Amino acid sequence: MSTQMDIHEILEYLPHRYPFLLIDRVLSCEPEKGIVALKNVSINEPFFTGHFPHHPVMPGVLIIEAMAQAAAILTFKTLGTKPDGNSVYYFAGIDGARFKKPVSAGDQLIFKVSVLRSMRGVWKFAAVAEVDGQVAAEAEVMCTIRNL
């Protein structure tokens, strides 16, 4: 079953808030398989004032963070639960990160994240970020839920 999510539902699955919430919409989510999410990149993003004032580019680490946020939604949907105040969803690793195309204001990032495996509470995902059908970044991200 593939489902869409608006920002109100996304806020139920991610603890992040402005300026660190990096997912605007989920276009499809199939538990145990994959998620397609998007971020509209606006010139009003706070990072553009310093990265770089003469040529605004979205920092690659934030693109990877957005991939992890999409992965978090997929994980919680797969587990049939929502995050609570007693746990945190952490990065456990990033492999093979590559940045192929700069992301600028006005771009719409499409994140395609699929489950590679889950073992002993650590999830591994293949993630791609695209702009206009072209790969902007890709990585394998590992994440885990830890109780506080």
Catalytic residues: 51
**CA 45 to CA 142: how far, in whole Å?**
26
Query: From its phi and psi, is residue 133 left (phi > 0), alpha (psi between -120 and 50) or beta?
Result: left
Cα 84 to chain centroid distance, Å, stands at 19
DSSP 9: H
From residue 148, alpha-carbon distances to 56, 85, 87, 133 in Å are 37, 8, 5, 40
